């Protein structure tokens, strides 16, 4: 008995069926079993039958480790998510999982919890797992660590550089819809807009959004202001900020929420403050959901199909991994602005006075 096996799990040999047992059962060599089951290399019909029968009888599952060690391919795709608490990443994750699964790839989730340190640890773990590919749901905090994976031969894709410059890139998708929302507000007669944000959004994309909103609004004669709620985490605090805001010199006629997570908090504050939507103040948000549509008034939203983006990214990755012939044509619907009931004409100026 080899010394190193003495202190292993005693029943290991009987717990997991290995290729030798299948070979024995089928009356062939392990090489033949491997060839038949992996589909690589020749095998007679007879041998094939024997092997498949035996494998089936023994309920054999080849060890992914051993296979990966030998073939230098893990068949694992890592997904880096900035914040698993945010439901918007669910369709993303699901799309990746489904497509990957269909091509024999497993999916390893890594939540960075929006922390650079956790991100580093997670990327190292993914490196240790020798993932074949890395799909990022958002811009990483530190590109250097990601580059290390890329340097190690990992296929990496992120929403920014993916389809850069084409209309498929995430920022491009969103930009058009954002501009349309601004035009919509201008057309209704709004002149003062407050953009409410909280730090949950990626620190990179959020400023881009604000810059775009600000620039577009200005060009349309709308005065826009950004209000950061980072330190206001309770419903009461948000309500206080909102009350100050609506009573201030700015007195915006539209409140624009930066995220789908933030929206219900603002809506609560507005309802508690008896702010009529859209009579006194219009409201819109990034991110859609059945609840936003069910709200009365139904909420106008800017929504992008993150699942479609994820699918396109995954398809691209699978192609670069050689798993698919050609990358599926990206048929991503651009992000859209959906004007629903929560955006309407602003109140006439006298009416606004009476609110104070």
Question: Least CB distance from residue 294 to its own copies, whole Å?
Answer: 4
Question: Least CB distance from residue 225 to its own copies, whole Å?
Answer: 23
Q: Which residues bind its own copies (CB under 8 A)?
A: 8-9, 11-12, 15-16, 59, 61-66, 68-69, 72, 74, 84-85, 87, 90-91, 93-94, 97-98, 101, 106-109, 111, 113, 121-122, 124-125, 127-130, 148, 151-153, 261, 263-265, 267-268, 271, 289-296
350 binds, among its own copies, DNA, none (CB under 5 to 8 A by kind): none
Contacts for 318 with CB less than 8 Å, ≥ 6 apart: 99, 100, 103, 105, 324, 327
Using alpha carbons only, give the angle 329, 177, 84 rounded to the nearest 5 degrees.
75
Identify which of residues 26 and 93 has a Cβ nearer to DNA in the complex.
26
183 binds, among DNA, its own copies, none (CB under 5 to 8 A by kind): none
| Cα separation, 178 vs 172, whole angstroms | 10
- C-alpha distances (whole Å) from 331 to each of 120, 167, 287, 309, 356 are 33, 11, 20, 9, 49
- 236 contributes a contact to DNA by CB under 7 A: no
Identify which of residues 16 and 248 has a Cβ nearer to its own copies in the complex.
16
Identify which of residues 20 and 125 has a Cβ nearer to its own copies in the complex.
125
| Cα separation, 337 vs 178, whole angstroms | 7
Instruction: Scan residues 62-101 and list those touching DNA (CB under 7 A).
Output: 62-63, 65-67, 69-72
- 148 contributes a contact to DNA by CB under 7 A: no
Say if residues 260 and 87 touch (Cβ distance below 8 Å): yes
| Cα separation, 19 vs 178, whole angstroms | 57
Identify which of residues 2 and 329 has a Cβ nearer to DNA in the complex.
2
- Name the nearest CA neighbour of 197 among 246, 258, 253: 258
Beta bridge partners of 336: 303
| Cα separation, 46 vs 35, whole angstroms | 13
- 30 contributes a contact to DNA by CB under 7 A: yes
Residues that bind DNA (CB under 7 A): 2-7, 12-13, 16, 18-20, 28-32, 34-35, 37-38, 40-44, 46-47, 60, 62-63, 65-67, 69-72
């Amino acid at each position: 008995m080899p010394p190193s096996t003495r202190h292993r799990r005693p029943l290991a040999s009987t717990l997991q069926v290995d290729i030798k047992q299948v070979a024995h059962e089928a009356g062939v060599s392990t090489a033949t079993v491997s060839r038949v089951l992996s589909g690589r290399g020749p095998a007679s019909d007879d041998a094939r039958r024997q092997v498949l029968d035996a494998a089936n009888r023994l309920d054999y599952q080849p060890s992914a480790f051993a296979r990966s060690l030998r073939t230098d391919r893990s068949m694992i795709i890592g997904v880096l998510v900035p914040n698993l608490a945010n439901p918007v990443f669910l369709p993303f994750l699901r799309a990746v999982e489904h497509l990957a699964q269909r091509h024999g790839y497993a999916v390893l989730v890594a939540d960075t919890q929006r922390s650079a340190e956790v991100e580093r640890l997670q990327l190292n773990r993914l490196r240790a797992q020798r993932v074949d590919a890395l799909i990022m749901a958002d811009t990483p905090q530190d590109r250097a660590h990601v580059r290390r994976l890329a340097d190690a031969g990992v296929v990496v894709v992120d929403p920014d550089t993916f389809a850069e410059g084409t209309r498929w890139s995430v920022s491009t998708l969103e930009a058009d819809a954002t501009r349309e929302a601004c035009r919509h507000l201008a057309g209704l007669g709004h002149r003062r807009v407050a953009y409410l944000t909280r730090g949950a959004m990626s620190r990179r994309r959020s400023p881009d959004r604000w810059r775009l909103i600000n620039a577009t609004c200005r060009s349309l004669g709308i005065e826009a202001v950004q209000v950061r709620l980072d330190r206001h985490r309770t419903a009461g605090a948000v309500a206080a900020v909102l009350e100050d805001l609506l009573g201030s010199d700015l007195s915006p006629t539209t409140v624009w929420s930066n995220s789908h997570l933030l929206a219900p908090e603002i809506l609560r504050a507005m309802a508690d403050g008896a702010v009529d939507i859209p009579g006194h103040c219009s409201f819109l948000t990034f991110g859609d959901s059945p609840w936003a549509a069910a709200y009365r008034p139904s909420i106008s939203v800017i929504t992008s199909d993150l699942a479609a983006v994820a699918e396109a990214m995954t398809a691209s990755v699978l192609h670069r991994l050689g798993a698919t012939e050609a990358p599926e044509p990206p048929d991503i619907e651009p992000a859209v602005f959906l004007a629903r009931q929560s955006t309407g004409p602003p109140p006439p100026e006298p009416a606004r006075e009476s609110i104070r």
